[in-house]
Amino acid sequence: METQDCFRRRLATLTAHLQSSPPIQQGGPCLEMDICRAKGSSPGFKVALLGASGGIGQPLALLLKMNPLISVLHLYDVVNTPGVTADLSHTDTSAVVRGFVGKDQLEASLQGMELVIIPAGVPRKPGMTRDDLFNINAGIVRTLCEGVAKCCPNAIVHIISNPVNSTVPIAAEVFKKAGTYDPKRLMGVTTLDVVRANTFVAEVLGIDPKLVKVPVIGGHAGITILPILSQVTPSSSFTKDEVLYLTNRIQNGGTEVVEAKAGAGSATLSMAYAAAKFADATLHALKGEAGIIECAFVASQVTELPFFATRVLLGRNGVDEIFPLGPLNDFEREGLVKLKEELKASIDKGTAFTAKK
Ligand SMILES: NC(=O)c1ccc[n+]([C@@H]2O[C@H](COP(=O)([O-])OP(=O)(O)OC[C@H]3O[C@@H](n4cnc5c(N)ncnc54)[C@H](O)[C@@H]3O)[C@@H](O)[C@H]2O)c1
Ligand SMILES: O=C(O)C[C@H](O)C(=O)O
């Protein structure tokens, strides 16, 4: 039988050990993260969500926790992740979820991650453009990407924070400066434009949105969002009025939500759905599944601009192939000419921001 002294000594040793170990739920040092993978009940990917307590972050965290391809989910934000993490950790899906709060825990949240999704930053209010968010969000994205370059330079990075047309070039410059840039691994998330396009086109055609695929090219703001209705699957023809209605509604889908929310933010639920869909496609491709095609805003040579959203083939290394624009009709060609000027200015603004530091 154990004597009381012996028991006390063992208790003291255990207490000292626990006090010297960082609380796993709140994040820990790099070493802890290697142990963490073994804690997932099934092998899978390690994913970090930065901006996890926000309007997009919370529903997206739930959808990612439900994804069987993910074994470890790290939730980072400057506020409220302990509560979000505690809440989410009670759901009976296999991913292990850990919370990290405040800039001191950013690096711990990123160690060993294979996919990093970034919706951190402020959303629009009515009357604002996405570019009006630049002054705040540019610095946030830069800091978070510096963390990625340092702690998980091989991770695939999905940028959601607006203005995407500038934040993706900002991220590229950060990675270039750190010597970790691989254009295949950096993607601006434009899936919400495709999700909206599929929905609105399905409404017009009177069919199930699941059957519809609309390529959306360009960027992610106003006229830089260009749905290619001539390439819709299933092959469909639209009247001139339908084309004008659909193009306008797809280009202004974000503003439609911002105005309806009347100051309470922008799209969160549909964005979380779109980001989860894009993350799932990316992870299936990383696993080696063939033929996974999505639209994304990536470093590209399909036009003279350095970044452009088009259909891309995802693979084990991220973006494996970028598809050409395909045949465009007169209306789409005109839209392409108009969007390039605005998109170029936004890209240049992002590129210049990082160079200034
Ligand atoms: N790409 C798209 O299609 C798309 C769609 C919708 C929204 N967005 C953009 O996503 C962003 C987030 O929108 P939201 O509705 O979730 O906003 P939100 O304000 O509800 O949430 C943003 C979260 O980011 C956190 N945050 C702020 N600074 C941070 C930092 N330095 N590090 C980590 N986290 C930080 C905040 O604490 C907050 O929890 C906005 O910029 C919005 O415009 C993009
Ligand atoms: O419109 C916004 O500001 C958010 C987002 O970019 C969207 O398209 O919903």
Q: What percent of the chain shows pLDDT beyond 90? A: 87
**129 is a domain residue:** yes
Residue 238: CB atoms within 10 Å: 17
The pLDDT of 232-247, averaged and rounded, is 98
Distance 356 CA to ligand 1 centre (A): 24
The residue-averaged pLDDT of 124-152 equals 98
The DSSP bridge pattern shows strands 225-227 and 292-299 to be unpaired
Answer yes or no: do 59 and 179 share one domain: yes
Among 159, 188, 217, identify where a domain stops. Answer: 188
Averaged pLDDT score across all residues of the chain? 91
pLDDT class for 185, splitting at 50, 70, 90?
very high
Ligand nearest to the CA of 192: 1
Residues 215-224, mean pLDDT to the nearest whole number: 98
Instruction: Output the CA torsion 49→52→57→62 (10° steps).
Output: 80
Whether residues 269 and 223 fall in one domain: yes
Q: Which residue has a Cα nearest atom 3 of ligand 2?
A: 124
Residue 356, in any domain of the structure:
no
Residue 8 in this model has a pLDDT that exceeds 60: no
Residue 72, classed as helix, strand or coil, is strand
Mean pLDDT, residues 165-194: 98
More confident residue, 14 or 71: 71
**What's the pLDDT at 34?**
55
Q: State whether 160 and 301 are in the same domain.
A: no
Q: Are 206 and 284 within one domain?
A: yes
Cβ–ligand 2 contact at 266 (below 6 Å)? yes
Q: Are 245 and 227 in contact (CB under 8 A)?
A: no
- How far is the C-alpha of 172 from the C-alpha of 215, rounded, in Å? 24
Index of the ligand 2 atom closest to the CA of residue 196: 8
**pLDDT tens-digit readout, 33-69:** 455 455 544 589 999 999 999 999 999 999 999 999 9
ipTM of the complex: 0.99
Instruction: Please name which of 327, 296, 280 lies closest in space to residue 45, comparing C-alpha atoms.
Output: 280
Arithmetic mean of pLDDT, 81-109: 98
Q: Is residue 357 part of a domain?
A: no
Q: Within a 13 Å sphere around the CA of 350, how many CA atoms are in the beta-carbon half?
A: 28
Dump strand ranges (E) for 143-263.
156-159, 186-188, 216-218, 225-227
* Residue 338 to residue 224: CA distance in whole angstroms: 8
220 is catalytic: yes
CA gap 188, 299 in Å, rounded: 10
Question: Is residue 156 in some structural domain?
Answer: yes
If asked whether residues 14 and 160 sit together in one domain, one would say yes
Asked if pLDDT for residue 233 goes beyond 60, the answer is yes
Tell me: do 100 and 57 sit in the same domain: yes
Q: Can you tell me which residue has the tokens 């395909």?
A: 326
Q: Whose CA is nearest to atom 9 of ligand 2?
A: 254
Name the active-site residue from 74, 158, 220, 284: 220
For residues 342 and 204, membership in a common domain is answered with yes
Q: Is 160 annotated as a binding residue?
A: yes
| Rounded-to-integer distance, Cα 109 and Cα 28, Å | 8
pLDDT value at 115 more than 50: yes
pLDDT digits 0-9 by tens, 294-344:
999 999 999 999 999 999 999 999 999 999 999 999 999 999 999 999 999
Share of the chain above pLDDT 70, in %: 88
258 lines ligand 2 (CB under 6 A): yes
Whether residue 353 lies inside any domain: the answer is no
Residue 19 pLDDT exceeds 80: no
Give the type of residue at 257: V
Residue range(s) defining the domain that contains residue 282? 191-348
Q: Is residue 17 part of a domain?
A: yes
CATH number at residue 270: 3.90.110.10
CB of residue 130 inside a 6 A radius of ligand 2: yes
Residues 169, 132 within the same domain: yes
Q: Is residue 77 part of a domain?
A: yes
Q: Is 139 annotated as a binding residue?
A: no
Nearest residue (CA) to ligand 1, atom 42: 123
Domain boundary, last residue among 136, 161, 188:
188
Kindly state whether residues 89 and 100 are assigned to the same domain: yes
Residue 354's pLDDT band (boundaries 50, 70, 90)?
A: confident
Q: Is 10 a residue whose pLDDT tops 90?
A: no
Whether residues 183 and 202 fall in one domain = no
Q: Which of 188, 204, 233 is the last residue of a domain?
A: 188
- Within this chain, do residues 203 and 160 fall inside the same structural domain, yes or no? no
**Which ligand is closest in space to the CA of residue 160?**
1
How many Cβ atoms from other residues are within 10 Å of residue 202's Cβ? 17
Residue 4 has pLDDT above 60, yes or no: no
CA 81 to CA 56: how far, in whole Å?
13
How many distinct structural domains can be found in the chain? Answer: 2
Q: What is the DSSP letter of 233?
A: B
The CATH number of whichever domain residue 96 belongs to comes to 3.40.50.720
Mark whether 184 and 214 lie in a shared domain.
no
pTM of the entire predicted model: 0.91
Locate the ligand 2 atom nearest the alpha carbon of residue 221 and give its number. 6
**Is residue 355 one of the residues assigned to a domain?**
no
